[in-house]
Amino acid sequence: MADTLPDRLSTDPSSPYFNEELLQRGVGIRFRGQEKTNVEEYCVSEGWVRVSMGKSLDRHGRPLTLKLTGPVEPYLREAEG
């Protein structure tokens, strides 16, 4: 598998952008120059991330998320170093 990451990726198994193999390899996200560890989904071309808001859940049992806009830089954690 190449070390290129998709434009959009989600940690939710019901999402069409979910990729278990890639997530197991370890994907890191830099958002506005800062490392984010609570990202549920990202889109590089549209410039946004969805971050979980603590341990709060919606009525379907999924984490509540907040959409933030700005520059998104995904990378593979194992390739980092």
pLDDT tens string 20-73: 999 999 999 999 999 999 999 999 999 999 999 989 999 989 889 999 999 999
Rounded to the nearest 10 degrees, how much is the dihedral formed by the CA atoms of 40, 48, 81, 23?
30
User: Which of 20 and 81 is assigned the larger pLDDT?
Assistant: 20
Q: Is pLDDT at 77 greater than 80 in this prediction? A: yes
Q: Is pLDDT at 80 greater than 80 in this prediction? A: no
Q: What is the pLDDT of residue 8?
A: 97
| Residue keyed to tokens 């190449």 | 2
